[in-house]
Amino acid sequence: MTETAPRDPARGPLVVRTAKELRAALADAGRVGLVPTMGALHGGHRSLMRLAREQADTVVVSVFVNPLQFGPDEDFDRYPRDLPGDTALCGEEGVDVVFAPETATVYPLPQMVTVDAGAMGERLEGASRPGHFTGVLTVVTKLFNLVRPDFAVFGAKDAQQIALVRRLVADLDLPVEIVGAPTLRDPDGLASSSRNAYLSDEERVSALALSRALRAGADAASGGAEAVREAARAVLEEAAKADPPLEPDYLALVDPATFADVAAGHRGETVLAVAARVGATRLIDNVSVNL
């Protein structure tokens, strides 16, 4: 912190918009924990901030809707944005600094050099959203270089993302520790997500089939990989007949290190991952399944 006296938490977090302001705010910050987000903060983000707070002298939350990770037909323009609400929530969680850069601050030039996510980045989410993980890994690298955190917290809700971020750090020798946080769910089982705000009451009921399918799959673990896939698929097939229908994008049981499908006789840790649309909203969820 640049002030000579410690910052009074009652004043809420310091909101900084530029790299220069960020550097000044972090001049004497001790151990820095970063929570990268796209804002529209909810309980899932809170749980990441709490993990960061336990381990950091200074907690930084970045709020940036990253255009590079959205496809041309995706929801970049209508993605919910609420910096005052986000700042208030960060204050409740004892966050020290909110870094909320403008797009032009992060991307002063059209981005030419990007981070290739490799084969893992082309599976599941990467297959459905071409270029998505290149956008994610590029902005995460930029945020690491801007904030220079000692550690950064990512949620298991985006399982493929955190697996790729771990590989980014390992493969490119980035000097940051990655901390994983479990998926937070709403009381009805739906994984908390900024995109849940798009759902009507009826759509939300249909969306509950995502977590139901994952639970059904996990419950079938003793029967092996095919039983897990079958149990989850049965729930999704039923939900496809609901009104409004759940339109599945993918359902996959994969190796957590590669996100490649596991073979029928596979033993050990796997991830059961699902993506589906309800109306105009695309949702993802996953659980760990030990076979």
Chain positions contacting ligand AMP, by CB under 6 A: 37-38, 44-45, 47-48, 154-155, 157-158, 181, 183-184, 191-194
Minimum Å distance from CB 43 to ligand AMP? 7
Minimum Å distance from CB 154 to ligand AMP? 4
Residue nearest to ligand AMP (CB): 155
Do 103 and 67 touch, CB atoms closer than 8 A? yes
Active site residue 45: yes
**Cβ closer to ligand AMP: 48 or 271?**
48
**Cβ closer to ligand AMP: 44 or 126?**
44
Phi–psi pair at 46, nearest 5 degrees: -55, -40
**Cβ closer to ligand AMP: 67 or 224?**
67
Minimum Å distance from CB 126 to ligand AMP? 16
Q: Is 123 helix (H, G, I), strand (E, B) or coil?
A: coil
Burial of 53 (0-12, 13-18, 19+ CB in 10 A): middle
**Cβ closer to ligand AMP: 50 or 233?**
50
Minimum Å distance from CB 40 to ligand AMP? 7
Least Cα distance to 143 among 258, 91, 79, 65 occurs for: 65
Beta strands in 104-173 (DSSP E): 151-155
d(Cα 123, Cα 167) in Å, to the nearest integer?
A: 15
Q: Is 158 helix (H, G, I), strand (E, B) or coil?
A: helix
Catalytically active residues are 45
